[in-house]
Amino acid sequence: MGTLPSARALMGASLGFHIIYAAIGVGMPLMLCVAEGLALLTGREVYRDLARRWSKVVAVLLAIGAVSGTVLSFELGLLWPTFMRFAGGIIGMPFSLEGFAFFIEAIFVALYLYGWNVLSPRAHWLTSIPVVLGSAASAVCVISANAWMNTPAGFRVVDGQPVDVHVWKAFFNPAMPIEALHGTLACYVATAMAAAGIYAWALLRGDAARRQYNRAGLTLALGVAAVALPLQLVAGDISARFVANYEPAKLAAMEGLFTTTRGAPEVIGGWPDPASGKVIGGIAIPKLLSFLAYDDVNATVRGLNSFPAGTTPDPRMVHPVFDIMVGSGFLMLAALILFGVIAWRKRRVGGATASRFALLATLVAAPFGFIALESGWLTTEFGRQPWVVHGFLKTSEAVTPRGGIDVIFLLLMLVYLALTTGLLWLLLAPWQGPRWLPRAWREVGHAAHG
């Protein structure tokens, strides 16, 4: 690979791993906060037990997220020096604020972990709230920087350099509010659905000794998902309308729309073909795109042909991942509705033979939160190309001139794979682990199994 493809592959793969770690680090604090709150409200110790075990997951993810995030900070400077010279003084503040949010989260995670037998139950639960807020604030700060790359604001350019910088205008750029909402909700959905899948699997295995624990975990996780997912779908609709007005080229690539069309159809699936200017094999729903984007079935939607050549994203990269994101959201929604209907009819959650189909549906839907998260991120990033700062700096102009990135790419991929394997082993292994593993880490191995 050349320097540009290698740099993009390295940065993309690093972010792909980090997003998973960070999403769980954002979503799990909310779940343990809800669990301990329910313990206080209902007096049921099973919820406190869930919170105690999940707190160890939060601690592990806090450490792993910090490591992977540090790698990304080095990659920004080493792989994209021109971008950092251009944007560093503008988006430096969001990253600085993210550091403060991370430290607040880390401090209260420590208080939470060591306060189980020291603080009162109410005071201990209150220490979880800054963890929830700190993790969410970290996500918002990082998303703000990414949103600025899509809708740059808060500066002027003179002789190719940004001047008259207003950092708060840059922070609260046009895309920031909706991207922050959309991204944070995605973390909650992905984490809750993954946890639900773990407890659904435990119930399907028929672990009678921990049936109450697994039922409580499944109920809580599905409850969080049932609140967050509909909100996420609404946020996604608002985001699409925002893209239609502020990033029309991205919308055209997302929908595989090559030609400006009045009363544009929504095309589901298929493969965009630039040669023919059509989406091959897609299912077209007449005028739906115009309605979804502008609330008017006869509205005109700009196609890729209306933009200068070389300034638009490749629909072959954007349209498929956009469809995966949307499809994943509706698949999870269908699983939640199915489980809710069956649970309402049976007046209980999970475990019974009559509910096995609902548990299987939950298990199948469990990974699609992270699939939607990753594909949504790819939609955003591919949809901004060929720009790294939309309208101001192209990706090809921002990359380092140095070579040799291929070797670094392979080495870091081995590191990330080892890190992820170790994480899954700690979180999912139904056994204590080898004796040489520290006792605290071996206990984390039971976090998902009670």
Say how far apart CA 282 and CA 406 lie, in whole Å: 36
Confidence of residue 445 (pLDDT cuts 50, 70, 90): very low
Q: What are the φ and ψ backbone dihedral angles of 271, each rounded to 5 degrees?
A: -125, 120
> Looking at residue 314, what DSSP letter applies?
-
* pLDDT confidence of residue 395: 94
Q: Where are the alpha helices (DSSP H) in 206-351?
A: 211-246, 248-255, 288-294, 315-346
DSSP-assigned letters across all residues of 227-245: HHHHHHHHHHHHHHHHHHH
* Closest to 165 measured CA to CA, from 93, 235, 232: 93
Predicted confidence at residue 120, as pLDDT, reads 92
Nearest to 29 by CA among 1, 62, 3: 62
Instruction: Give the per-residue pLDDT at 354.
Output: 45
Contact call for residues 55 and 73 (beta carbons, < 8 A): no
Q: What is the band of 51 on the pLDDT scale with cuts at 50, 70, 90?
A: very high
Q: Does position 434 have pLDDT exceeding 50, yes or no?
A: no
Residue 188: its H or E element: helix 176-205
The whole-number average pLDDT for the span 251-269 is 94
Confidence of residue 356 (pLDDT cuts 50, 70, 90): confident
pLDDT tens string 422-433: 777 766 654 344
| Model confidence at 6: pLDDT above 90 | no
Q: What is the pLDDT of residues 308-347, one digit of tens each?
A: 999 999 999 999 999 999 999 999 999 999 988 887 777 6
What pLDDT score was predicted for residue 174?
96
Distance separating alpha carbons of residues 370 and 91, to the nearest angstrom: 27
Task: Give residue 131's pLDDT.
Answer: 94
Q: How many CB atoms lie within 10 A of CB 289?
A: 26
> Percent of the chain, pLDDT > 70?
92
Tens digit of each residue's pLDDT (9 = 90 or more) over 72-93: 888 888 889 999 999 999 999 9
Least confident of 73-77, 208-212, 304-308, 434-438: 434-438
Going by C-alpha positions, the residue among 378, 416, 369 that lies closest to residue 31 is: 369
**Cα–Cα nearest to 190, from 425, 381, 21:** 21
pLDDT at 206 over 80: no
More confident residue, 300 or 438: 300
Supply the pLDDT for residue 429.
56
Which sign, positive or negative, has the C-alpha torsion 360, 366, 367, 372?
A: positive
Task: Band the pLDDT of 216: cuts 50, 70, 90.
Answer: very high
**C-alpha to C-alpha distance for 446 and 189, rounded to whole angstroms:** 22
How far, in Å, CA of 11 to CA of 33, rounded?
Answer: 33
Statement: residue 9 has pLDDT above 90: no
Tokens matching residue 435? 């004796």
| pLDDT for residue 348 | 55
138, 379 in Cβ contact below 8 A? Answer: no
* 166: its two tokens: 């207003």
Give the side-chain half-sphere CA count within 13 A for 5. Answer: 3
Residue 370 tokens read as 């992270």
Tell me the pLDDT of the chain averaged across its residues: 88
